[in-house]
Amino acid sequence: INPVINKNKEKIVLYVGRLYNENKRIDRLLYIWKNLDKIKDGWRLIIVGDGPDKKMLEDLSIKYNLKNVTFTGADSPEKYYSKASVFCLTSSYESFGMVITEAMQHAVVPIVFSSYATASEIINDNVDGFLIPPFDMDIYSDKLNLLMSDDNLRNNMATKAANSVKKFSLNNIGKEWIKLLNSI
């Protein structure tokens, strides 16, 4: 993984993934966005992906009267990663969380629930992203608000995210496999 850093980030909070609410729990992200309504000042939430719950989630965003929310449908996430500043994942469970590493590769600061082991293997909490205690919506909202309102913190964490994700490069993973195989 080689960082692809765009210095001209926009005020975009991004979700990328399947719109399957049972596991991905995008409804939590919409609820958090609703609670930040008065302090979003020019920020947009972009939800990239498709799935069986897209209509339900669009209806929920209407019910919450959410502003500045876009559902793109199925689309290549690259162009969104390059513009986004913050990446949100509100899943109950992820096997690895490839979207987290993709976001970090583009210097997008991740905020995720620490409800699965790999989250803490990818993110250094309070360094290159935020790990939120499982399903604590208030802390999640506070951390998202902090990133949206503190440009210096966000930019610093973005740089660290792009650097720390290098540990998942093909070269580094290959070295780890060789080390493991040699130890057997």
pLDDT value for 1: 53
- Residue 41 is predicted with a pLDDT of 83
Per-residue confidence (pLDDT) for residue 139, from 0 to 100:
98
What class does CATH assign to 12-182? alpha beta
- Supply the pLDDT for residue 85: 98
pTM: 0.90
DSSP assignment of the chain: ------S---SEEEEES---HHHH-HHHHHHHHHHTGGG-TT-EEEEEB--TTHHHHHHHHHHTT-SSEEEEES--SHHHHHH-SEEEE--S--SS-HHHHHHHHTT-EEEEE--SHHHHHH--BTTTBEEE-TT-HHHHHHHHHHHHH-HHHHHHHHHHHHHHGGGGSHHHHHHHHHHHHHT-
Q: Which pLDDT value is given to residue 80?
A: 98
Q: For the chain, list residues with pLDDT below 70.
A: 1-7, 37-39, 169-170, 172-174, 176-177
